[in-house]
Amino acid sequence: MRVHTTTVLSLSALAVLALTGCSRGSATFSGPTSSTTVPVHPDGQSAPAPTPLSSTALAKRLLDESDLGGDYTRMPQRTAAHDDVTVIGCPALAKLGSDAAAGASLAFPRKAKSSFTYAGGSNSELTEELYSDTEDKLSRSVGRIFEAMTSCPTYQVLAGGTAVTVTTQKVLVARQLGDEQWSQLLTFTAGRRSSIVKQTAVRTGAVVVVVSGSPGLVDAHVREAVAKATVVRSTGS
């Protein structure tokens, strides 16, 4: 069976539910690589916590073709897969998968997403997802997901009748990028085929930016994605 490089890795289930595309993977987690800081006004008063943005406001902060260049083509949004997913050999991730499927605290209602293909060749996709909520909830939920995904060096996933082998490896993110950072490499292996997806998540205030896809494309555009997501616009939230 062909192994697809699945870059539609929503944070509600992260890569677990994305494996239904007959993909195989390994993941790495850097953990939050910088502590959260509280802005302080010149008079010594703490600044008010950022207000979560609406999905409409988030959509305006996504990268588009004008940001990425002519080699990128926007992809239509894929229909969410509903195959049963079973995790074998990693209890923490198995528990996370069931929680995500039940729509527990991992689902952020304020979100926006776009996906692109790169003309540089096959296996070249880039997906950006933006989520907004309180800083504390974003930090706890995203950290919990990434930690669960890398709690076991190797495990298996049964997705849509396909056995997927997953291995994990930590990836560092520049500390000066946002308030908190997480990153992982997902090497999906099924049969004799494998594909690698990199996923980097950055929390900046009340917004989490997730960039997934070909490792080179993620590295090339994650900083740009974070910068655009943090732009203060007059349209409000």
As a whole-number percent, the residues of the chain with pLDDT over 70 amount to 68
Class of domain 14-31+47-229: alpha beta
Least confident span in 14-23, 123-132, 209-218: 14-23
Residue, of 164 and 30, whose pLDDT is higher: 164
Total residue count of the chain as it appears in this document = 237
Q: Which of 28, 16, 9 is nearest to 164 (CA)?
A: 16
pLDDT number for residue 70 = 85
Tell me the mean pLDDT in the region 215-220.
93
Q: Tokens representing 8?
A: 């539609």
Task: Assess contact for 32 and 143: CB atoms under 8 A.
Answer: yes
Q: Which of 14, 27, 6 is nearest to 195 (CA)?
A: 6
What is the CB neighbour count within 10 angstroms for residue 102? 9
Give the start-end residues of each E strand in the chain.
Answer: 72-75, 85-88, 110-118, 125-132, 154-159, 162-167, 180-190, 193-204, 207-213
Q: How far apart are CA 130 and CA 210, in angstroms?
A: 6
pLDDT number for residue 218 = 93
Q: Which of 70, 106, 92, 80 is nearest to 8 (CA)?
A: 80
φ and ψ at residue 138, rounded to 5 degrees: -60, -45
- Residue spans of the domains in the chain: they are 14-31+47-229
Tell me the mean pLDDT in the region 201-216.
93
Query: Residue 198 region, left (φ>0) first, then alpha (ψ -120 to 50), else beta?
Result: beta
- pTM above threshold 0.85: no
Sign of CA dihedral 117, 119, 122, 124: negative
